Amino acid sequence: MDCPSCRRSLQPCGEVDVDGETLAVYQCDHCTRSWEFDGETFQTALTFAVDAGGRLIDPESLEPIHLN
């Protein structure tokens, strides 16, 4: 799998179950996203799974990820 942002080659780093389907989870340490917690914003590595339709899924919330 290539990172959808920087196109670096990534290896799976875990799995997540979504609607009875097991999806591989990938993390790109070169690309970051903003994450807000307790009123503060942090930068975290881009972590995602890809569903059967090719959509990026946040493994924590299981919501789609939209890259800017």
Q: What is the mean pLDDT of residues 30-36?
A: 89
Question: What is the total count of domains within the chain?
Answer: 1
State how far the Cα of 22 lies from the Cα of 40, in Å rounded to an integer.
32
Q: Is the pLDDT of residue 61 over 80?
A: yes
Instruction: Find the domain containing 45 and state its range.
Output: 1-68
- Dihedral angle, C-alpha 44, 50, 55, 56, nearest 10 °: 0
Q: What is the mean pLDDT of residues 17-30?
A: 93
State how far the Cα of 20 lies from the Cα of 61, in Å rounded to an integer.
16
10 or 68, higher pLDDT: 10
pTM of structure: 0.84
